[in-house]
Amino acid sequence: MVSSDLKIGVYFSANDVVYDWAIAFLNSFRQFNPDLRLILIPFNDRCERLLQLKEEYNFEVYIDPSFDRLEAIGQAFELGHTPTGPYWFRRYAAFWGPCDRFMYLDVRQVILSDLTPLIMALDRFNFDFLHYDCALDQVYEPGEFRQQLLRQGKGRGFNSGRWAARKELFSIEEFEKLAADALKIREQLNPRNTDQAFINYCCDLKPIVCGHFAEVMGNTCQNGWARQPGHVYHQDGKYYLWDYGGIDHKKQVILIHWAGYKWENFFPQKFLLLSFFTKDRNYLASISIYVKLIVVSLPKLLITILISQRKINSFYHLQKPQAR
């Protein structure tokens, strides 16, 4: 039985650097979730433009004294690849925020569904934590620790940009203790994806019940990355994936994310992203955005296609200056 007294909501993290991404995210979120509580965890102090959107998109701002302690954890894991990496750890303050059941989302994605059923699936199916895309190499390096997890039926390697959980599943004190243990095997964790490796480690080491949204709920795409095979189509107010012969053929698309992509580049499903970015803009303003995309991005796209060829790509990387 799911209690009607539960406070549910969605946290997201962003700043002015990803302002355009945030506009597309917020437009898509409110289209499918007009009344769902939405709470911003500021990525850092550079949020002046973003905060001006509070009333338009009806979101709150969550500031917590634990941000400094979470950033300290992030700094301890940083190997110099991602200068802003420690700020990514602020998202984990959601575990002691105002929502009893919640979902966390990065803004480099668009939301294509009502998210309440995903959040309530925690209680409906008796899970502590539900995640989305999985890529084990993006979390753990090959080695003994990874092998131990796999032998125990753990080590899913889920993405840290979209997940749901129960409040107080972790505390800041518990995170600090787990971090101290994880740092002892830092070489067996992904060197770049610091916050992703950390939350996976925490979920793998603590005896909690984890699951994948698609596996738990059914009729849902396993992955949300824009580069996945197939074609996203709209039907009866919902989005689905057409990938004839694929495991997710005709299943519902909950979200599409562009982790690893830059806004100014041309990338898969960009026209879908722009449809939400230009939502409610006048016709001429929208057309100018699409024209600029074609003029600026098409040459880059052709170059990308060219250098992606195996022999050309190998030569290209041989000529690049090596990091010292």
Verify that 193 and 237 share a domain, yes or no.
Answer: no
Task: For residue 1, tell me if it sits in a domain.
Answer: no
Task: For residue 132, tell me if it sits in a domain.
Answer: yes
Task: Record the tokens describing residue 69, joined without a space.
Answer: 């302690």
pLDDT at 1: 45
Burial class (CB in 10 A: 0-12, 13-18, 19+), 292: exposed
CA distance 25 to 22: 5
Give residue-wise pLDDT tens across range 93-126: 999 999 999 999 999 999 999 999 999 999 999 9
Task: For residue 324, tell me if it sits in a domain.
Answer: no
Task: For residue 224, tell me if it sits in a domain.
Answer: no
Verify that 41 and 16 share a domain, yes or no.
Answer: yes
Verify that 129 and 181 share a domain, yes or no.
Answer: yes
pLDDT at 324: 37
Task: For residue 54, tell me if it sits in a domain.
Answer: yes
CA distance 6 to 193: 32
3-state helix vs strand vs coil in the chain, percent to 5: 45, 15, 40
Verify that 294 and 177 share a domain, yes or no.
Answer: no
User: Does residue 157 come out as left (phi exceeding 0), alpha (psi in the -120 to 50 range) or beta?
Assistant: left
CATH number at residue 149: 3.90.550.10
pLDDT at 323: 43
Q: Mind giving me the DSSP string for 170-215?
A: S-HHHHHHHHHHHGGGGGGB-SS-HHHHHHHHHHHHS---EEEHHH
Task: For residue 2, tell me if it sits in a domain.
Answer: no
Nearest-CA neighbor of 94 among 6, 177, 164? 164
Burial class (CB in 10 A: 0-12, 13-18, 19+), 102: buried
Verify that 41 and 180 share a domain, yes or no.
Answer: yes
pLDDT at 322: 53
Verify that 106 and 235 share a domain, yes or no.
Answer: no
Task: Record the tokens describing residue 149, joined without a space.
Answer: 């997890």
Give residue-wise pLDDT tens across range 285-318: 566 666 666 666 667 656 666 766 666 667 766 7
pLDDT at 115: 98
In 43-145, beta strands by DSSP E: 60-61, 101-106, 109-111, 129-131
82: Cα within 13 Å, side-chain hemisphere: 20
Verify that 206 and 243 share a domain, yes or no.
Answer: no
* 242 three-class SS: strand
Task: For residue 222, tell me if it sits in a domain.
Answer: no
Verify that 199 and 264 share a domain, yes or no.
Answer: no
Count of structural domains, the chain: 2
Report yes or no: 266 and 272 within 8 Å, Cβ to Cβ: no
Which residues of the chain, if any, have pLDDT below 70? 1-4, 282-298, 300-305, 307-313, 316-317, 319-324
Verify that 26 and 158 share a domain, yes or no.
Answer: yes
What is the enclosing helix (H) or strand (E) of 271?
helix 270-277
Verify that 212 and 235 share a domain, yes or no.
Answer: no
Verify that 210 and 273 share a domain, yes or no.
Answer: no
Verify that 187 and 311 share a domain, yes or no.
Answer: no
Domain end position, chosen among 160, 185, 217 = 217
**Domain extent for 257:** 231-319
